Structure 1
Amino acid sequence: MGNRIVIGLDLAKQSTAAAALDGQGREQWRRTFRRQKLLPFLARQAPCIVAMEACAGAHYLARQVDRLGHHVRLYPPKHVKAYQRGQKNDYNDALAIAEAAQHGRLRSVPVKTVEQQDEGLLVQQRRQLKQEQVRQGNHIRALLAERGLVLPKGVAALRRRLPEVLEEGDNGLTPLVRRVLNGAYQRLLTILEELAWYDRELERQTQQDDVRQRLCEMPGVGAVVASVLKAWMGDGRQFRRGRDASAALGLVPCQHSTGGRQVLGGISKRGDRYTRSQVINGAQAVLLYAHRKDDALHRWVVRLQATRGHNKAVTALANKLVRIAWVILARGERYSPRPA
């Protein structure tokens, strides 16, 4: 890195703490900027490395700083934590970010374009709506259980049985409870209607996107899973190989090795939990009908299920699907089933 200056920025809503290190790691200066003063200050600086944590607003600011001629690096916050010295404050956080960038061992997070953020927005909003759907359904079931009425699990059963419960006159529900339940049910219907719009929009975008169409050629991957994978992995070039992508998603064994003795446990569960859950759900769907297929991938997972059990087979298949997705995204290839 030579004598190149590294500026670490600790972002906040209204102010940003900044600290600069020279090529030998010596602190050059530290300052605090209001939001409107930061970019004009960086515009007056010679080209340098500007490092930030990959948090809310970081990608927008990174694009603005990159236009000023600086080299921008974004790092996962939990990886920067190890470089912190002394007690936690804004300046120490900025110094830790600058030191992490100067060290050079951490893999930086790619800066997202506006288009990539738009694609991720649909995925994030759909995820939030699914959570609201589950919470609202559980709330309605809890209200009914307090009155001695227990409904089956699942949103389909709730939509089918709740109108019947509200119309029954001899189930012991008071007029107040009926009004409250009807309002909660209407909110649930609104959430489901909005969720259906997001599903249609993801399906429409998938039909117009060649990358997601190639991802959908994989087993267990539809419009939603393809959109989630693309939003999480981007073009995949931040990973050297497919195993690095599956490791970043937490689908490889967690190591506790020492003294030359290798000890492997369960999967590490690192990375984005929602993306990992979607890939595992797709793998479960594949395993459900794998015995009907005759290609190498399905035969392999059926043998694995017979020898290692269902859960390990699902996890191993999810690992393999992420690796295949990396090849499709990073190398631009298509999925081609290999004959058994």
Structure 2
Amino acid sequence: MKEIKILGIDLAKNVFQLHGVDAAGKPALRKNVSRGKLMETLANFPRCLIGIEACGGAHYWAREISKLGHEVRIMAPQFVAPYRKSGKNDLNDAEAICEAVSRPHMRFVAVKTEAQQSALMVHRVRASINTERTALINQMRGLLQEFGFVIAKGASNFSKRFLEVLEKENLPLDAVEVLAELRGHLLTLEDRLAKYDRMIARMLKDEMVARVMTIPGVGPVTATAVVATVGDAKVFHNGREMAAYVGLVPRQNSSGGKTRLGRITKLGDSYLRSLFVQGALIVIRHLGDKKDTRSQWIRSLVERRGVKKAAVALAARMVRIAWALMARNEPYKPATS
């Protein structure tokens, strides 16, 4: 067998497809390997560059394969697709991965540690609980409205206001029983949400998380999420690339030397994007009479473009600042007036 320099692996649940090329770029290996035999097979290969697509288990396999001395790089599937020939199958996918990983300007995903994946697990479950809680509150609010009772928006004191309606108003017994059960479920969700908030609070001991939290508008949830998701910020060449990853840069339709910018792309990580935009809205809401350079810029932006567009612009700037703090290990330096 020829010496393999670059290897593409199409990950799967049970059977993995391998495609390798030699130093001249000619095919040297095409092979199916079972899940249990993958590490044994790769251990017999000389040190080489291995490419895999970002998918379930990709970070685990990247960590394990790296222990064998190979250089492993993860790529987003949309960057691999243009290199696929003809139809989509395991063999073509592995060949496309092998070709894509060799490109000099390919963008790669930083391999996450187990700690980072654990942190993201906390965020994912917390987000699902929060979504369920919001849906339940909306359902309870709608059911009360059927009886002519309207509770103001806001989740923080909803349970207390809801209980006051049940105690003071004369509702049918069956309705009270159903609504009381829903409130009990809501309290359970709030207890679970508080538990995950405490888990996130334990992550604040991380130096990088503490540094990112110094950015105005970035709280514990956003700071821990961005550090766990991005990992090594140096995989982005600049702050704009990281903002593009979050989906906060304008979509371009430029041609003939004329630049045309549209709405934000909304590509990348929607969870991070929503957290940064929410943080930006909080900053705008608490501007008050602040006279520093940053506050004046935000205030003028709100006057020209409105609150929502200003929040998106501020969120993009916050992401760029976060990149600078993470990639350069610099402390946050607020703009002086």
**TM-score of the alignment, normalized to the shorter chain, above 0.5:** yes
CA positional deviation for 1:185: 2.7
Equivalent position amino acid for 1:189 in 2: L
Contact 1:296 1:337 in 2 (8 A): no
SS of 2:291's equivalent?
A: coil
Contact 1:6 1:48 in 2 (8 A): yes
Match of 2:295 among 293, 298, 305: 298
Write the mapping of 1:1-340 to structure 2, written as runs, cut at 5 A.
5-144=5-144, 151-156=151-156, 158-167=158-167, 170-172=170-172, 174=174, 177-206=175-204, 208-340=205-337
Contact 1:137 1:155 in 2 (8 A): yes
- Counterpart Cα distance in 1 of 2:16 and 2:4: 22
CA positional deviation for 1:167: 4.9
Equivalent position amino acid for 1:183 in 2: E
CA positional deviation for 1:129: 1.6
For these two proteins, the number of residue pairs brought into alignment is 335
SS of 1:290's equivalent?
A: coil
SS of 1:196's equivalent?
A: helix
CA positional deviation for 1:178: 4.4
Q: Residues 150, 34 of structure 1: CA spacing in aligned structure 2 closer, same or farther, 3 A cutoff?
A: farther
Deviations 1:3-57 (A, max 9, x none): 8532211212222222223344433332222211111011111111111111111
Q: Residues 237, 278 of structure 1: CA spacing in aligned structure 2 closer, same or farther, 3 A cutoff?
A: same
Contact 2:19 2:31 in 1 (8 A): yes
Select between 32-41 and 97-106 the one with higher mean Cα deviation: 97-106
Equivalent position amino acid for 1:250 in 2: G
CA positional deviation for 1:203: 2.2
Unmatched 5+ stretches in structure 2:
none
Deviations 1:315-335 (A, max 9, x none): 221111111111111111111
- Counterpart Cα distance in 2 of 1:122 and 1:50: 30
Unmatched 5+ stretches in structure 1:
none
SS of 1:219's equivalent?
A: coil
Length-normalised TM-score, structure 2? 0.91
Q: Residues 143, 40 of structure 1: CA spacing in aligned structure 2 closer, same or farther, 3 A cutoff?
A: farther
- Counterpart Cα distance in 2 of 1:162 and 1:302: 37
CA positional deviation for 1:250: 1.5
RMSD of aligned Cα (Å): 2.2
Contact 1:10 1:93 in 2 (8 A): yes
CA positional deviation for 1:152: 3.9
Q: Residues 92, 144 of structure 1: CA spacing in aligned structure 2 closer, same or farther, 3 A cutoff?
A: farther
Q: Residues 147, 94 of structure 1: CA spacing in aligned structure 2 closer, same or farther, 3 A cutoff?
A: farther
Contact 1:17 1:91 in 2 (8 A): yes
Equivalent position amino acid for 1:98 in 2: C
Select between 155-164 and 266-275 the one with higher mean Cα deviation: 155-164
SS of 1:103's equivalent?
A: coil
